Chain A
């Protein structure tokens, strides 16, 4: 069965079983390995991608569920070789160690700012609690999201 989906701005025509996890399609069919396999049950957030601007765990999202949608992976965030402000904030704050969880964290954080551009610390903690970092970089992840939010607010036309 063929499914049409936009991935990082490009239309894609994917021949696969509609029940195939989106993560498998991204990694094995499209070679987009930024989304990681962590737990396979939607419980760690390593596989998070944006579907129409909202973070979903792609390991438990069937391909059929994203038909006609816009999927954004971490590889789709840079523009003209410049990091997305959230990627830059994670870098500036040192909010990563092994960084296996980082792509999912960054996409989860972008999803949060898409709905709440000026999140409180409680908002950040609530939104990011489903993302596991085994290296333990959480305090700096909160800092990075605050930094990205404040930079975004500073750049917004008044």
Chain B
């Protein structure tokens, strides 16, 4: 049985060292081609025509004028008379023309009649949502009523966290060329190996006839797994135009309306505790919307991380509204549930008059990793200078600038998705590594190269990584922080298998048994004896004319036993903010993230991912929000002027502490995409409450909301 284990920490030469991303030169030089950059001879440009109404029945559609416009090559209807359209932006038709301008002109000539129907597009007031509300049964554990009656203090609060969009800088879309039986497909996707099957099902074409290509993607964050209705429309336009390639990417407004979002959560929470800070009861009534589909939230996650509070009552309702559907959004459900839980815990700490750091640590026994959380809280407190800077709720300093600190926590699974890798060692010493995976910018290519280089004793540039093609062995879609675990494990196994074959070939030349050989420092040598060695190149020449081709697989179901990857991490965020109580403007001073993450392959890209996750949580805490207008049924901010993201001036100092320890390292590789995005919103909201002395119930913490909260307190 080959030995696939990761080399011990002290013996690693590549893994664990900061390595610059191998696709960095292509990216910084502008040579990296994203799917939106793909051009083919005879390329047509397509646009989508969508419903302007939140709820309507399509009465009639007449494409004759659009079709007749010179330059228009194909029109594909995506809704028919009688279709009920349930949100603004619902797809009506797609039009392909020789230029995008002509396609847009044609879109304006499409004559569509609607019967407008009543709509509901806001969910924050349950009493106005009527029959759109679908309650799920109450869950009660222990005796919450008795616990509330016998407690030393009870806190009550309302909290709200809105719908966000993914707002990937590269919009959703594809270039498709459907010629005869064969479809060439360049999507912007998180699932190179799976998206072709999805398209095939939509257009009734066998997946074997669909060839997916994607070298680079401009963001996904959970929204780019499917081929989508517009992918199918793009294919139909190509077919209808005689096999010409068609490019169909959403414009920014459509992207923000229909290409996915994160469900909202509104909550009324009551908590009880003892004088010493022990939490005794949790009660939550929550509701959320994930668009027309309903909720999109699993209320079983309450109370977050502190799951084992003994007395709990949980009630949740899903609200169906006329707006685009939710999709997985980096750390699905966790960001919202973390916010509601940690905010309520901070409010309880204020009610009991104790330091929330103490309350979070004291109750760590209710979590699944008490020791890890306690130690991370301590590390975070140290980095934040908590003991010096923290004060009871409400900064008593003079003046209009108030400073505060707050805590948020996270947990996530990870693990490794199903992934299959092929490694080829050529007789000239060059090495190819192929997987049907994708690099979302997280550094997947680089991690694959590092694992292979470590195994072969080669430098990182001694191996070539090829991903982004469905013709390679399949590798899972990138979601749920499962990619790094999956591809590192399959690459490790394929590389070990290939190396074992190579060692068997070169053993006789070195007069040694293969088990007594090792690959290190660019050589194959008798273990510990560089005098008896061959260079990597000379060793590979022993292959004659036959390259070695070996495979390796990670199977998620059985991976945990093998120890290459695992799941389940913990993390703590602490925010330090300053709030101007005259203007309501919140400035982030520092956001500190302490994160457990198993074996880190490339600290350079891992840390970057954690930075990015922290910044995404700042966006959610202070700026981002989908704003729906009940009067018109429309999204009011489908653009990047009013759908606000943090800029470089908005983030303060980010401090990332990757919790690297031998006992975490032993657990193997665990993905880092989701966990550090989760606790930041809670931490920032809690820091603002600590600064100004009152809870601002709803995030993002806009100046208006901060000032309203201050005004209500004075009234």
Contact = CB atoms under 8 A, between A and B. Distances in A.
A153 B351 CA distance: 56
B84 interface: no
B33 interface: yes
Interface residues of A, number: 54
Given A44-B640, A134-B167, A91 B441 contact: no
B168 interface: yes
A147 B300 CA distance: 48
Interface string B434-469: 000000111100000000000000000000000000
Nearest to A125: B649
A129 B650 CA distance: 9
Given A46-B169, A94-B604, A98-B218, A38 B27 contact: no
A41 B640 contact: yes
B136 interface: no
A33 B36 CA distance: 9
Interface stretch (B113-121, B192-200, B314-322, B608-616): B608-616
Nearest to B613: A136
B611 A98 contact: no
B614 A36 contact: no
B37 interface: yes
A129 B608 contact: no
Interface centre among A46, A94, A124, A142 (most CB of B within 10 A): A94
A91 B640 contact: no
Interface stretch (B17-25, B417-425, B660-668): B17-25
B21 to A, nearest CB: 7
Q: What does DSSP make chain A's interface, helix, strand, loop or mixed?
A: loop
Contact of B648 (A39, A73, A138): A138
A74 B28 CA distance: 8
B645 A96 contact: no
Contact of A99 (B32, B37, B639): B32
B170 interface: yes
B28 A87 contact: yes
A129 B649 CA distance: 6
Contacts of A44: 169, 640
B524 interface: no
A146 interface: no
A74 B483 CA distance: 30
Contacts of A130: 647
21 contacts: A24-B100, A28-B39, A33-B34, A36-B170, A46-B169, A73-B30, A83-B29, A94-B21, A94-B24, A94-B604, A96-B441, A98-B216, A99-B441, A124-B648, A125-B648, A129-B649, A131-B648, A136-B616, A137-B608, A138-B611, A139-B653
Interface of B: 20-21, 24-25, 27-34, 36-37, 39, 99-100, 167-171, 216-219, 221, 249, 251-252, 440-443, 604-605, 608-609, 611-616, 639-641, 645-649, 651, 653-654
Query: Which 3 pairs across A and B sit closest by C-beta, in order of nearness?
Result: A34-B30, A98-B441, A136-B615
Given A94-B21, A103-B30, A134-B169, 13 more contacts: A33-B30, A34-B30, A37-B249, A98-B218, A99-B28, A102-B27, A106-B28, A124-B648, A134-B168, A136-B614, A137-B611, A139-B651, A139-B654
